[in-house]
Amino acid sequence: MSKPRIQSGSLIGVGGALLLIAIATGGNFLQFIDIPAILIVFGGTFLVVLAKSTLTEFKSAFGTAREAISDSPTRLTDLIDEMIEVGRVVRYNDRWMVVLEDRDYNDNFIAKAVRLWVDGLDETLLKDALLRELAELKGRYDHARDFFAYAQELAPAMGMIGTLLGLVLMMGNMSDPRAIGPGMAVALLTTLYGAVLANVVIGPLVQKIHGHGKSVKNNYELVIAGMMFMHKGGDPRMLPDLLLGNLKEGAPEPEALPVPVESDEAAPEALPAQTSEPDSK
Listed by start position, the domains of the chain span 32-258
- 29 or 135: which leads in pLDDT: 135
Instruction: Give pTM, 2 decimals.
Output: 0.71
Q: How many CB atoms lie within 10 A of CB 234?
A: 22
Distance separating alpha carbons of residues 1 and 4, to the nearest angstrom: 9
CA atoms in the 13 A half-sphere facing the CB of 64: 29
For Cα atoms 206, 209, 214, give the angle at the middle one, nearest 5 degrees: 125
Q: What is the pLDDT of residues 44-83, one digit of tens each?
A: 999 999 998 899 999 999 999 998 888 888 888 888 888 8
Give the N- to C-terminal CA distance of the chain in Å, as an integer: 63
Neighbours of 227 (CB within 10 A): 25
Residue 196: count other Cβ atoms within 10 Å of its Cβ: 18
Averaged pLDDT of the chain? 78
Does the pLDDT value for residue 251 go beyond 70?
no
CB 181 within 8 A of CB 201: no
Between CA 209 and CA 60 the distance in angstroms is 13
pLDDT score at 27: 62
CA distance 138 to 216: 9
- Tell which residue, 132, 141, 102, 145, has the closest CA to residue 224: 132
How far is Cα 85 from Cα 222, in angstroms, rounded to an integer?
Answer: 16
